[in-house]
Amino acid sequence: MVRSALRHRTSVAVAAIAAAALLLTGCGGQGGAEDESAPPASSAPEADQVDDKPADEEPEEEETEPAEEIVLEFGDESDQVRELQARLAQLDHFAADPTGYYGDVTVGAVAGFQEAQQLEVSGTVFESTWAAITELSTAPSQQELYPPQLVMGYGDNNDQVRELQARLIQLGHFDEKPTGYYGDVTSSAVRAFQQSAGIEATGQLDESTWSALKEQTSAPAQDDMFPPIEVPEVETPANLDERCMTGRALCISKTTNTLSWVIDGQVKTTMDVRFGTEEYPTREGEFDVYWKSRNHHSTLYDSPMPYAMFFDGGQAVHYSENFAANGYNGGSYGCVNVRDEAAIAALFDEVREGDKVIVHW
């Protein structure tokens, strides 16, 4: 009975162990089939497995300098731009009058200043550029910010300049005949008037100077502005070209080396001339004066050509200091040289664009 009971218990225990083993095998088989494509529940993201830094620590960023602020730039229009332009004018980097507009001229002036000061050249006023400009200049005055507008100035050549010169003659500040050209003589005369009138003596005719001058003078007559030019009487050259006998003509003879100013067949004046060398011959023919340039300077040959009257391309009648000094020992690059400066200056005022030029033998 005892053995039978032991056998029975042993059989029950073995059966229980076998059943448990069978149950465990069954769960494992089903779970493995279902989980082939899914991660284990206890698995963590790959990044978490390799990241050993604390969760609250952020990655370090590289330190960068903050961008420099722009004070003024192209397209701006303000009183500060006007101040910038006036300060640059003090430093000889801005030649125009201040306008308050930041355009191409101002960009170029700023770039020139930056280059001179070994700053980064951009044409834009950054904080460092503005600091350098204000350090090297002074706060501009009202007159620097808003300079008087010029009525006439150096280099002008017109009838209004003749009126100016005629008015200055009335006050004894201009000793020559009106020419219409605003040069050194006119500038000195304007400066003398400004000094006598208690105006800042600049030699430039601004609105206040022009108003004061008109108050002290009367409107000049036509003869005062265009006085007749006295020319010596000369005999008509025997070989005057027939093309010179009508209208207004500069009649230039290569045979006699002379230039005759002829109006309706009457010779008004004659002067010695010199022509181009064999390598640069003066062309013969009938031409017109197409351009006049009182203080011309040849960029091609880097030589002065005062009182130039152009008639054929780059060939012109003009005064030659070399001809005056060396005579016919030499020649021009094709132009007609005159050695009498007073004569060519008077002729320059007489000749008009469109007048004939006859170069002949």
The residues that are catalytic are 318, 335
- Taking the C-alpha atoms of residue 267 and residue 236, their distance in angstroms, rounded to an integer, is 6
Residue tagged 């070209």 (tokens): 241
For residues 275 and 330, is the Cβ–Cβ distance under 8 A? no
First to last CA, the chain: 169
Task: State the Cα–Cα distance between residues 198 and 228, nearest whole angstrom.
Answer: 34
- Residue 153, SS3? coil
Asked if residue 249 lies in contact with residue 255, where contact means CB atoms within 8 angstroms, the answer is no
Q: Tokens standing for 91?
A: 């430093």
CB 313 within 8 A of CB 301: no
Q: Name the residue with tokens 């989980």.
A: 35
Cβ 269 vs Cβ 347: under 8 Å: yes
**Closest by CA position to 274, among listed 258, 250, 292:** 258
Cα 199 from Cα 201, distance rounded (Å): 6
Buried/exposed 127-159: b ≥16 CB within 10 Å, e otherwise: eebbebbeeebeebeeebbebbebbbbeebbee
Q: Write out the DSSP string of 95-132.
A: -SPP-SB--HHHHHHHHHHHHHTT----SSEEHHHHHH
- Contact of 209 with 193, CB cutoff 8 Å: yes
